[in-house]
């Protein structure tokens, strides 16, 4: 059974990149007769808002993207994140880090200053994981073979921030495990992070999902498409146009005579083939902006 999901961070309205991820994950799930879950990544409280959440749900509804079951929230999984950390501790893979941002300013790879700090200090500390010095790889359905060595990238990475907020790679693998996700379809900006996630999944003995990383809009143009850039918020007044553009970028060729989003999506589910998705797209292809 295929279980897919869309997991927007609710720190602002959905942007064009998130609509692409929503549409791609929806079409892939539906074309496999699978489930498509909606999870709100709301753990980063200082940045998330109830209003953004409402707007995200409305945007999906207006675009005809109907999810299965109840909306899942990261904030419901807090205990499970700590369980995972306890598991990592048992394996002697974590340590407390008190390094300031300033101290790490000039280092891309964590230099290991706190590696031997196994007891929680009284100062605020983040929790980092020891990474192995070996290659990790996977086969992406769109991007092909991906591999890398975590110890030459970010190095020992943070799983729990100083403010006791779980870090994304740990949260996402626990969330996907809890909800039985078999297939992850999301933006290629997370391609490298997927290696970190696979390391955690293997270490915690969970099942590795299949991955398909769709092109991100900013790759070629160097325009930063973050949710904080209101300029790229989706215009909910033109859902049909937005969907047609998104489908073009995902390698489909919809005609302009579809009357509404539901009929257009039915057509797209039939046509969907992940092998037609390009590895990269330019923002100029997104005709509605």
Largest CA distance in the chain: 64
Residue 248 CB partners (closer than 8 Å, separation 6+): 254, 285, 287
Residues 206-235 that bind Zn ion (CB under 5 A): none
Chain centroid, CA 98 distance in Å: 27
**Of 86-94, 109-117, 156-164, 165-173, which segment contacts Zn ion by CB under 5 A?**
109-117
Question: Does 97 sit near Zn ion (CB under 5 A)?
Answer: yes
Instruction: Rank residues 38 and 172 by Cβ distance to ligand GLU and give the closer one.
Output: 172
Considering the rule CB under 6 A, would residue 218 count as an interface residue with ligand GLU? no
How distant, in Å, are the alpha carbons of 37, 49, 104, 129, 261 from that of 52?
18, 5, 32, 32, 23
Q: Exposed, middle or buried by CB within 10 Å (0-12, 13-18, 19+), for 163?
A: exposed
Burial of 34 (0-12, 13-18, 19+ CB in 10 A): middle
For ligand GLU, the binding residue among 15, 30, 128, 186 (CB under 6 A) is: 186
Instruction: Give the three-class secondary structure for 280.
Output: coil
Q: Considering the complex, state which of residue 106 and residue 230 has its C-beta at the smaller distance from Zn ion.
A: 106
Footprint on residues 4-33 left by ligand GLU (CB under 6 A): 7-9
Show contacts with ligand GLU in window 104-143 (CB under 6 A): none
- For residues 2 and 113, which CB has a smaller minimum distance to Zn ion in the complex? 113
Work out how close the CB of 217 gets to ligand GLU at its nearest, in angstroms, rounded to a whole number.
13
State the binding partner of 267 from Zn ion, ligand GLU, none, CB within 5 to 8 A by kind: none
Nearer Cβ to ligand GLU, position 186 or 258? 186
- What is the contact surface with ligand GLU in residues (CB under 6 A)? 7-9, 41, 172, 186, 190
């Amino acid at each position: 059974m295929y279980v897919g999901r869309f997991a927007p961070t609710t720190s602002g309205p959905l942007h064009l990149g998130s609509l692409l991820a929503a549409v791609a994950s929806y079409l892939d799930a539906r074309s496999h007769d699978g489930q498509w879950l909606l999870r709100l990544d709301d753990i980063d409280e200082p940045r998330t808002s109830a209003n953004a959440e409402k707007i995200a749900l409305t945007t999906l509804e207006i675009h005809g993207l109907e999810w299965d079951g109840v909306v899942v929230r990261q904030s419901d999984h807090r205990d499970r994140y700590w369980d995972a950390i306890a598991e990592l501790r048992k394996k002697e893979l974590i340590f407390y880090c008190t390094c300031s941002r300033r101290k790490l300013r000039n280092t891309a790879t964590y230099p290991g200053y706190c590696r031997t700090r196994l007891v929680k200090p009284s100062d605020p500390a983040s929790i980092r994981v020891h990474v192995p010095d070996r290659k990790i790889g996977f086969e992406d359905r769109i991007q092909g073979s991906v591999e890398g060595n975590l110890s030459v990238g970010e190095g020992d990475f943070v799983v729990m921030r100083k403010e006791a907020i779980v870090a994304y790679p740990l949260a996402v693998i626990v969330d996907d495990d809890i909800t039985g996700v078999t297939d992850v379809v999301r933006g290629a900006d997370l391609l490298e992070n997927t290696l970190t996630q696979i390391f955690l999944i293997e270490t915690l003995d969970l099942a590795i999902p299949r991955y398909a990383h769709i092109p991100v809009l900013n790759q070629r143009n160097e325009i930063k498409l973050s949710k904080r850039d209101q300029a790229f918020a989706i215009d909910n007044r033109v859902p049909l146009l937005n969907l047609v553009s998104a489908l073009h970028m995902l390698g489909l060729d919809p005609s302009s005579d579809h009357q509404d989003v539901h009929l257009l999506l039915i057509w797209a589910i039939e046509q969907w083939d992940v092998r037609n998705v390009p590895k990269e797209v330019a923002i100029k292809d997104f005709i509605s902006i």
